[in-house]
Amino acid sequence: MKRSGLFWVFLTPVLIWLFLLIVLPHLDLLILSFRADGGWSLENYGNFFTEPIYWLTFVRTAAYSIITTFLTLVVSLPVAFYITKLSRPGVRGFLMVLLLLPFWVSELVRVYGWMILLRESGVLNYFLLQLGLLERPVEMLYNDATMIMGLVYTSMLFMVVPLVSVMESLDDSLVEAAYDLGASKICIWRTIIIPHCKPGITSGAIVVFMLVLGNYLTPNLMGGKNSLWFTEQIYNQFIASFNWNQGAAFGFLLLVLSSGIIWVGLKITGQKLDEVAS
């Protein structure tokens, strides 16, 4: 009885906090999304399908978010393996601090750092000109490749951390036995390391995908005017056009998209959400 009462004492403030800051605002936005001209209507959702710019941007955002999530996984796997299996125990904490260090400042500062590095009058162009590798400065910003690179950089930590946590439980003797039996590195990664890391891969991919899909700063600053990210469409509806009904509808369409893609990913990997979360 005492334990149960103590449990509810600590849980009640959390539930009230979630209800006031998450449930109620989303319910209000849901109601707004079905309101048009003072009445109930599906017009706000219909506008999404009748205007090509909206659904094309929607598809483009989903595609680039999946690509970014995959590239983040490809970069994070060897980093996590090096930290957990190849580095000395005394160095692992230092390496994790190095990964965390860029996230001690805001995303805006980190993105502007990349812009200073890559812009036409930036640091990278300066050194390439000094080395004679370029005859004139090259604009490296405001394209899809740079935008994806920035998204990978800003979300990499959220993939590395779950991978490190699952790789720490990987028995080193399994990898050593595979080497002794003549298995190649690709075979070891494919048959031992990646299957063992599947929960971490799935949880990291979900977090990274959600962050990238809902990102606004990086696509807007590094992608430029041609970034065509769906969050910018939502921002324009809320702030530029003051059309909260249309913006709310776009927001819930983005929520349905992310939930659907995550559901498909869980079905493909054969995992359940509660297993990944645990």
Nearest to 79 by CA among 156, 189, 192, 146: 156
Identify the pLDDT of residue 37. 75
* Confidence at residue 277, expressed as pLDDT on a 0 to 100 scale: 60
Three-state SS letters, the chain = CHHHHHHHHHHHHHHHHHHHHHHHHHHHHHHHHCEECCEECCHHHHHHHHCHHHHHHHHHHHHHHHHHHHHHHHHHHHHHHHHHHHCCHHHHHHHHHHHHHHHHCCHHHHHHHHHHHHCCCCHHHHHHHHCCCCCCCCCCCCCHHHHHHHHHHHHCHHHHHHHHHHHCCCCHHHHHHHHHCCCCHHHHHHHHHHHHCHHHHHHHHHHHHHHHHCCCHHHHHHCHHHCCCHHHHHHHHHHHCCCHHHHHHHHHHHHHHHHHHHHHHHHHHCCCHHHHHC
Residue 152's pLDDT is what? 93
Lowest mean pLDDT among 3-12, 127-136, 205-214: 3-12
**Which pLDDT score, from 0 to 100, does residue 68 have?**
95
What is the structure's pLDDT at 80?
Answer: 92
Mean pLDDT for all residues in the chain: 86
Does 52 reside within a domain?
yes
Cα radius of gyration rounded to whole Å, the chain: 23
Q: What percent of the chain has pLDDT over 70?
A: 95
Residue 26 structure tokens = 């989303």
| Confidence at residue 111, expressed as pLDDT on a 0 to 100 scale | 87
Report, as an integer, the average pLDDT of 189-199: 89
pLDDT band at 63 (very low <50, low <70, confident <90, very high): very high
Mean pLDDT along residues 55-84: 92
pTM for the predicted model, two decimal places: 0.86
pLDDT at 170 over 70: yes
Tell me if 253 is assigned to some domain: yes
Has residue 105 been placed in a domain?
yes
Tokens of 174: 């399994």
CATH of residue 128: 1.10.3720.10
Contacts of 269 (CB under 8 A, 6+ apart): 198, 202
Residue 104 lies in a domain: yes
Instruction: Confirm whether 65 is domain-assigned.
Output: yes
Cβ–Cβ < 8 Å for 254, 229: no
pLDDT at 23 over 70: yes
**Count of structural domains, the chain:** 1
| Mean pLDDT on 103-124 | 85
Question: pLDDT grade, residue 274 (50/70/90)?
Answer: low
Condensed to tens digits (0 to 9), the pLDDT of residues 126-153 reads: 888 888 887 888 888 888 888 999 999 9
pLDDT exceeds 90 at position 174: no
Give me the pLDDT at residue 3, please: 67
* pLDDT grade for 73, boundaries at 50, 70 and 90: very high
**Angle subtended at Cα 143 by Cα 141 and Cα 145, rounded to the nearest 5 degrees:** 100
Q: Is residue 235 part of a domain?
A: yes
Q: How many CB atoms lie within 10 A of CB 253?
A: 20
pLDDT for 104 equals 83
CA dist., res. 199 & res. 204, Å (int): 8
* Overall average pLDDT of the 224-239 stretch: 84
Mean pLDDT (whole number) for 13-42: 86
In a domain, 13, yes or no: no
CA 125 to centroid of chain Cα atoms:
29
Domain range for 121 = 41-277
Nearest-angstrom CA–CA distance, 108 and 98: 19
Residue 14 lies in a domain: no
From the number of C-beta atoms within 10 Å of its C-beta (0-12, 13-18, 19+), residue 220 rates as middle
